[in-house]
Amino acid sequence: MTAEPEIRVVYVEDDERLARLTAQYLASHRVDVHVVSRGDQVVPAVLRVRPDVVLLDLMLPGGDGLDVCRQLRARSDVPIIMVTARTEEADRVLGLEGGADDYVPKPFQSRELLARIRAQARRARGEAGPRAERIVVGSLVIDATTMQVTIDARPIPLTTSEFALLHALAQRPGRVLGREQLLQLLHGSSDEAFDRSIHADAGRGRLARRRMTARRDASFHTGSSAPLRPRRRFRSLASRLVALGIGQLVLLALTAAVVFFAEGPHDAAYPEDKLTPATVANLERLVDAPAALNDALDDLRAERVELSLYDEAHQLIASNVDPPLAIPSRPHHGHRPDRGDARPERDARDARSEPRFDPGDRPAFDAGGPPRGGRRFLAQHRLVISFRPHGMKGVLVARGVHGAPPGLTGPLLVLIGGFVILVLGALITARWIVRPVERLSRTARALGSGDLKARSKLDRSDEIGELGHRFDEMADRIAGLLATEKELLANVAHELRTPLTRIGVALDLANEGDAEAARASLAEIAVDVSELETIVDDILTAMRFELAPGQAPAQLPLRRATVPASEIAAAAADRLHARHPDRPLEVTAGDAPVIHVDPVLFRRVIDNLLENAHKYTPDASAPIELAVSRDGGDAVFEVRDRGIGIPTEDLPRIFTAFFRGERSRSRETGGVGLGLTLARRIVEAHGGAIEVTSTPNVGTSVRVAVPATG
């Protein structure tokens, strides 16, 4: 007599053989297992069976395991154990936060799985029955009736939400409750407002970090480095450095010109050039008009002529210089004394107290004038002319003024300005060249420390910009290779874990069962070993044809032979008929050319395409078409079916390794997702191309073209 089941379990697993073996093992330990193979069937099955524990796989047809877990948590408190081949830490965290009570990776030990099922069932049964209105945990007392919490008889003030949260946790000791479970317990649904309030601080922190990053990026691109951006007309670094040097010289020349015109010497002004007879006559007429006379004297002063007018008593009439110019008392060295227009200089007191100079008649103006000299000559030379207002005999004393002396100010300014320009130019050049190099160095250090998202993002069009662009391309390739390697290892591990798990469960059955069960288990193990061999062979073949950039087809390891395309098609049709005798197959070989290919590998391509057409055509009476033809210089193989088709969003990914059209890696159609990947790599290794067109619920057409030889 068979004992009554101790525990009821709903096992959600799309691998039929693994589910059957696990159910058989658990049944031998008084665990009643109800197997569900699709995600959209889990909730109805749980509500119908009312199990003690749910075993849930993550990757399922008809719904993702995490979504199914959330749906269960909204309907039931049944313990959930996730049993999956996904072993990454992130997957474990997502599973537990999504509502799972336990997480068991494949391959698992059957005894350990049984122990975990029993432990979860005990906890669930401990919560059965009416919930206590008063919960006591040590000195903590939670009274659900009065909604009061006390510790050592001292009341603790709590809000309604805080009390509900504490009460929910106290009712489930030892249980891990995810965020969505808590929201469900507190609010009866996933309250979006409450959920957002929980993560408000984290959201604000992330927003602040993004803003800081944006400011840093903006300051880098628009701040002090903005003037260093080169003009597009100078693309090479050498030409820009030359242009920068020329620019520095131009700035230096401009600085020197400004200093020269601002501080440089002016031409000397000689009085005999300014005091023409007409000018002297005009001054004589203006003696009776002091205001007009002063204006005329100011005009001469503006022309750098200092002038003093004396009457016949040598009394000052007017002057545009203070102190007035003295009347010379003795001849000046270098003057012609017979001219009588210049006398040796004496001060104003001598001129007034000892008047010995009598200009006599007005001298004639000499076109050549007195000897010209420099600044010292102008300072000592006096031009004396008879001045006769109203007929009296006066004297006009004039002196020219030289331009402002440059002294050392001009040269010093030129020297300092040039030095500043050269230093600034050197700093700008160094900053312009070194900053991007430092940025590349920081990016390289970040990459070396494991930050695969680090990029230089240099916005330049010269050699350094090209270096940064190539560096970022290299970083992208490295990140892509590492991501591909990680994904490949994860996918390979996933595909190997399921058959290894089946082998482990089968061995446990063989150890604990009778001879008949042992023989059945050995048969299961043989099938799994064969599947493992197929997976390993597919992976090795895929790696064999992982083409390196720039690798020529002639360098690939192919054993080519010249064969008619029609023979390859006929042999593939025979093999499909042997595997699936009930499947109609229509073969058309018109003007089939001869091709030079590796027969073994190319046969694998056509077999994969025909097998896919059979798997994804549910109607067993729907025929599959295989056509061979010539298209220019190519031989074309085309496989058409009338199956379920491929969704448009999945078409770009169908050649990705381990990708299946269903999100869940369903085992209903078999395979591990390497068929089309291998097909494309083999075809491309032969210098050909493969194309896929598909319409959902209508059918799929795959076209393979390889070069023909005759």
453 and 523 part of one domain: no
Question: CB 307: neighbour CB atoms within 10 A?
Answer: 24
Looking at residue 284, what is its pLDDT? 86
Q: Using the structure block, give the residue that is written with the tokens 């097998």.
A: 611
- Please count the structural domains in the chain: 5
Domain endpoint, select from 354, 372, 400? 400
Answer yes or no: do 577 and 519 share one domain: no
Q: Is the pLDDT of residue 640 over 90?
A: yes
Give 317-359 pLDDT, tens digit per residue: 899 898 898 887 654 443 433 333 433 343 433 333 333 334 4
- Kindly state whether residues 468 and 503 are assigned to the same domain: no
Q: Exposure string (b/e) for 145-183, b if CB count within 10 Å is 16 or more?
A: eeeebeeeeeeeebeeeebbbbbbebbbeebebbebbbb
> Are 391 and 510 within one domain?
no
Q: For residue 59, which phi and psi values (nearest 5 degrees)?
A: -100, 105
Q: How many CB atoms lie within 10 A of CB 647?
A: 11
Instruction: Tell me: do 388 and 442 sit in the same domain.
Output: no
Give counts: helices (H), strands (E), the chain.
Answer: 21, 20
CATH number at residue 23: 3.40.50.2300
Q: What is the pLDDT of residue 554?
A: 45
Give the range among 218-222, 410-414, 462-466, 523-527 with minimum mean pLDDT: 218-222
Residue 579 belongs to a domain: yes
- Cα of 704 vs its chain's centroid, Å: 38
Question: Where among 544, 573, 606 does a domain terminate?
Answer: 544
**Is 294 domain-assigned?**
yes
Q: What is the CATH number of the domain that holds 563?
A: 3.30.565.10
Question: pLDDT tens-digit profile of 199-217?
Answer: 444 444 454 445 445 444 4
pTM, two decimals, is 0.49
Verify that 561 and 685 share a domain, yes or no.
yes
Instruction: Decide if pLDDT at 3 tops 90.
Output: no
User: Who has greater pLDDT, 86 or 362?
Assistant: 86
- Mean pLDDT of the 690-695 span: 93
Classify residue 258: in a domain, yes or no: no
pLDDT digits (tens, 9 = 90+) for 508-562: 877 776 667 667 777 778 877 877 887 787 777 776 665 444 444 445 567 889 9
pLDDT (tens digit per residue) in 157-214: 888 778 888 888 887 777 777 676 677 666 554 444 444 444 444 444 454 445 445 4
Distance between CA atoms of 257 and 265, rounded to whole angstroms? Answer: 13
Q: Are residues 299 and 353 in the same domain?
A: yes
pLDDT at residue number 700: 93
Domain annotation covers residue 299: yes
Does residue 390 sit in the same domain as residue 415? Answer: no
The structure tokens listed for 108 are: 């698992």
**Mean pLDDT of the region 228-252:** 62
CB 480 within 8 A of CB 656: no
Which DSSP symbol is given to 381? Answer: -
So what's the pLDDT on residue 132? 54
Can you give the pLDDT at residue 194? 45
Q: Is the pLDDT of residue 76 over 90?
A: no
According to the model, what pLDDT value does residue 224 have?
38
Lowest pLDDT segment from 70-74, 266-270, 318-322, 375-379: 375-379
Burial of residue 237 (number of CB atoms within 10 Å: 0-12, 13-18, 19+): middle
Are β-strands 585-589 and 624-631 bridged in parallel, bridged antiparallel, or unpaired?
parallel
What pLDDT is recorded for position 217?
45
- Same domain assignment for residues 540 and 559: no
Shared domain for 689 and 593, answered yes or no, is yes
Question: Do residues 310 and 421 both lie within one domain?
Answer: no
| 69 class by beta-carbon count within 10 Å (0-12 exposed, 13-18 middle, 19+ buried) | buried
Given 355, 371, 400, which residue is the final one in a domain? 400
In a domain, 247, yes or no: no
15 vs 703 pLDDT, higher one: 703
The answer on pLDDT for 414 being more than 50 is yes
Domain with 699, as residue range(s), is 553-707
| Co-location of 561 and 694 in the same domain | yes
Residue 251 lies inside a defined structural domain of this protein: no
Question: Do residues 389 and 412 lie in contact, with contact meaning Cβ atoms separated by under 8 Å?
Answer: no
Q: 17-26, 502-511, 635-644: which range is least confident on average?
A: 502-511
Q: Does residue 221 lie in a domain region?
A: no
Residue 233 lies in a domain: no
